[in-house]
């Protein structure tokens, strides 16, 4: 009999109505799951529920919570065929990206899901998201950290939240879905990462440490000096959400002071794009050529969620700046795979 571990971190799917709006309540999700007859159907895997304490609104998630989730998975890794992590939607893509790097040599499915409407409500999308995620986790077809929502299974570090109010809340504009759920669950086998040989590459958890990373989103007429106070020697990483293929203004025909100062301080500077689809190509236009000369890192077609969490992961490894540069520009967990 296949067996799945459900890890509930908080989020809308298990919330209940209160005087101050929806909020997580200890034990409420377990009662709700126990009342769902579908979870005891013959085709469903056996399951156990692990409820984190405290339960969190996903807006409050930090690296400590990623470590806690990773520890819960690692400590039970040999006991289950797969894992389902129930999580709030606001930062679900960040957590999926973070776990994809932290859970090294993963050989089992770890599926993040949740809902836009609480499971206790009549029109909740949580029931289908949960049941299908459990079936995918039990199948053991996808040895990756994934995000399932609205009938699509996405690579976790390729997803981002694209809608605040639609039931299809997540998108993966730079990589196709790994599976789709209709009458049957159909896997795109050629897009799924290969399962590592546990003898040669055993599973392990690498925990995150507290890192200092800043994110600047460019806009026309931006005054870079506003950000000067954050660019100190304590800033370990700086992510620039640039225009188009990595372009940025150079009003004085030179790099903005904050970027020059960050590079001189030894900060790892990574340039991504504000566009949902496409990739950074530094040097394609004159306005980005100075970035190449300065030695910034191109994020390729990674999401901002993947850039931030990958950078935090690499910084946690204690690598040199040059090693981080090389690994940021390389594909570790399918976060930069170009197949479309």
Helix axes 286-294, 257-265, angle to 10 degrees: 20
Q: Write down the pTM of the prediction.
A: 0.95
Whether 5 and 50 have beta carbons less than 8 Å apart is answered as: yes
- pLDDT of 284-297, one tens digit each? 777 677 888 888 99
- CA-to-CA dists, residue 338 to 33, 193, 309, angstroms: 39, 13, 19
Please say whether the beta carbons of 198 and 206 come within 8 A.
no
The torsion angles phi and psi of 242, rounded to 5 degrees, stand at: -90, 175
pLDDT in tens, the chain (340 residues): 899 999 999 998 988 878 777 777 888 898 889 888 899 899 999 999 999 999 988 989 999 999 999 999 999 999 999 999 999 999 999 999 999 999 999 999 999 999 998 887 778 888 999 999 999 999 999 999 999 999 999 999 999 999 998 888 899 999 999 999 999 999 999 999 999 999 999 999 999 999 999 999 999 999 998 999 999 999 999 999 999 999 988 776 668 888 999 999 999 999 999 999 999 998 877 767 788 888 899 999 999 999 999 999 999 999 999 999 999 999 999 999 877 6
Name the catalytic one among 12, 91, 132, 245: 12
Closest CA to 170 of 280, 273, 90, 83: 90
- The 3-state DSSP class for residue 158 equals helix
Structure tokens at 281: 């190509």
H or E, element range at 127: helix 126-139
Q: What is the pLDDT of residues 145-175, one digit of tens each?
A: 999 999 999 999 999 999 998 888 899 999 9
Q: Residue 65 and residue 252: Cα distance in Å, rounded? A: 43
CA 151: distance to chain centroid?
Answer: 18
Which string of DSSP letters, residue by residue, matches 23-91?
EE-TTHHHHHHHT-GGGGSTTSPEEEEEE-SS---GGG--HHHHHHHHHHHHHTGGG-SEEEEE--STT
In whole angstroms, give the CA distance from residue 226 to residue 257. Answer: 11
Which is nearest to 96 in space by CA: 308, 306, 315, 329? 306
3-class DSSP string for 279-335: CCCCCCCHHHHHHHHHCCEECCCCCHHHHHHHHHHHHHCCCCHHHHHHHHCCCCCCC
Q: Is 267 a catalytic residue?
A: no
Write out the two tokens for 88: 């709030």
Residue 252: burial class (beta carbons within 10 Å; 0-12, 13-18, 19+): exposed
pLDDT at 25: 81
**pLDDT for res 340:** 61
- What torsion do the CA atoms of 31, 37, 41, 44 make, to the nearest 10 degrees? -40
- The pLDDT score that the predictor gives to residue 125 is 87
83: nearest Cα among 51, 116, 48: 48
């Amino acid at each position: 009999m296949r067996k799945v571990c459900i890890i509930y971190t908080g989020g809308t799917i298990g919330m209940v109505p209160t005087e101050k709006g929806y909020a997580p309540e200890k034990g409420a999700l377990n009662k709700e799951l126990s009342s769902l007859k579908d979870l005891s159907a013959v085709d469903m895997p056996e399951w156990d529920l692990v409820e984190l304490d405290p339960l969190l609104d996903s807006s409050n998630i930090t690296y400590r919570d990623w470590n806690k989730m990773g520890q819960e998975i690692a400590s039970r890794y040999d006991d289950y065929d797969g894992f389902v992590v129930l999580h709030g939607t606001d930062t679900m893509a960040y957590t999926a990206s973070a776990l994809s790097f932290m859970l090294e040599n993963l050989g089992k499915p770890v599926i993040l899901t949740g809902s836009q409407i609480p499971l206790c409500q009549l029109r909740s999308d949580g029931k289908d998201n949960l049941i299908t995620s459990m079936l995918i986790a039990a199948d053991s077809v996808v040895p990756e950290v994934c995000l399932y929502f609205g009938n699509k299974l996405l690579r976790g570090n390729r997803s981002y939240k694209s809608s605040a109010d639609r039931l299809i809340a997540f998108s993966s504009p730079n990589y196709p879905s790994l599976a789709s759920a209709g009458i049957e669950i159909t896997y795109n086998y050629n897009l799924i990462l290969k399962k590592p040989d546990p003898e040669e590459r055993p599973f392990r958890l690498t925990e995150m440490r507290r890192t200092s990373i800043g994110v600047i989103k460019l806009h026309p007429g931006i005054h870079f000096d506003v950000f000067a106070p954050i660019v100190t020697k304590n800033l370990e990483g700086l992510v620039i959400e640039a225009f188009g293929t990595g372009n940025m203004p150079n009003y004085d025909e030179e790099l903005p002071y904050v970027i020059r100062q960050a590079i001189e301080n030894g900060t790892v500077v990574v340039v991504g794009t504000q566009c949902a689809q496409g990739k950074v190509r530094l040097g394609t236009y004159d306005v980005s050529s100075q970035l190449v000369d300065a030695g910034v890192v191109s994020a390729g077609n990674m999401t901002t969620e993947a850039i931030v969490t990958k950078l935090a992961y690499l910084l946690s490894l204690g690598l040199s700046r040059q090693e981080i540069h090389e690994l940021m520009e390389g594909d570790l967990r399918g976060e930069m795979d170009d197949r479309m």
